[in-house]
Structure 1
Amino acid sequence: LKPNKDLLQDLINKANGINRENYTSTSLKAVDDVMVKANEVLNNPEATKEEVEVAIAELTKALSGLEAKPGSTVDTSTSVKPGDKTVGVKTGDTTSMMYSLLGLAIASLGVYGSKKRKRIN
């Protein structure tokens, strides 16, 4: 099975979208170093789930470690917090369970009715 790389892709997009003028060069270098590794994992079709998880953790840590330059205004509402795993999590499930349960109920009624008819005849 191939691991889901959507969260890693979202974090890379977020890192690419930061305003580099607002952060110190040392904290940006840390992000750049982790971005190289994260891109390698993202583009590796043979990457394991563990490699993806490590890349996500390292990139999240690097992004949360960004230091704002003195006097710059940084919007912290969109920054990544350590342990934050809610950056565009996609479950892939959009159907309601009610359709499945309704189908099961109708099928059960059909089986019950057919057995009842066989007993009467």
Structure 2
Amino acid sequence: LVRAFINLRLKPNKDLLSDLINKANGLNRADYTSASLKAIDDVMEKANAVLNNPEATKEEVETAVSALTKALAGLGANPVKQGDKTVSIKTGDETSLGMLMSLAGLSLLSFIGYVSIKRKED
């Protein structure tokens, strides 16, 4: 019993590695440069080998997670070609139309109030 206990070892949790692999597999490859995709592909081979290895150590899993995280962070986006209407660019403008309409209405009411006060004074 003691010998069996000594030979027992904890298997590392591979959930994060699996999630990262799924994220990398779900990438739209047309959006990224070939150089950054090659880096992902190289790391993915090693990460898949670790994921499918039932004897993988905790250090191997952590190394694969770190390498895949770094490769995903280093993805380079393809530049948008002039005239390409398939890619939308986020400008950062999050102002809603309702907010603008409210401000316009408030400005109009203020102007009307100012004009009516001026008429009463004259």
Report TM bin, short chain. Answer: 0.5 to 0.7
Aligned match of 1:48 in 57, 65, 68?
57
The Cα shift of 1:74 comes to: 8.0
The equivalent of 1:18 in structure 2 is 27
The answer on 1:62 being equivalent to 2:71 is yes
- The one-letter code of the counterpart of 1:10 is D
Q: Which has the larger radius of gyration?
A: 2
The Cα shift of 1:73 comes to: 5.2
The equivalent of 2:18 in structure 1 is 9
Relative distance call for 1:49 and 1:19 in structure 2 (3 A) is: same
SS in structure 1 opposite 2:37? helix
TM-score by length of 1: 0.59
Relative distance call for 1:26 and 1:9 in structure 2 (3 A) is: same
TM-score by length of 2: 0.59
**Identical pairs, percent:** 73
The answer on 1:34 being equivalent to 2:43 is yes
Give ranges in structure 1 of 5+ residues lacking alignment.
76-121
The equivalent of 2:4 in structure 1 is none
Relative distance call for 1:41 and 1:19 in structure 2 (3 A) is: same
1:48-95 Cα shifts (integer Å, max 9, x gaps): 0000000000000000000000015589xxxxxxxxxxxxxxxxxxxx
The equivalent of 2:112 in structure 1 is none
Q: What is the CA–CA distance in structure 1 between the aligned matches of 2:45 and 2:88, rounded to whole Å?
A: 27
- The one-letter code of the counterpart of 1:21 is A
Relative distance call for 1:5 and 1:59 in structure 2 (3 A) is: same
Relative distance call for 1:3 and 1:48 in structure 2 (3 A) is: same
* Alignment RMSD (CA, Å): 1.6
Give ranges in structure 2 of 5+ residues lacking alignment.
1-9, 81-86, 91-122
Q: What is the CA–CA distance in structure 2 between the aligned matches of 1:74 and 1:60, rounded to whole Å?
A: 25
Q: Report how many aligned residue pairs link the two structures.
A: 75
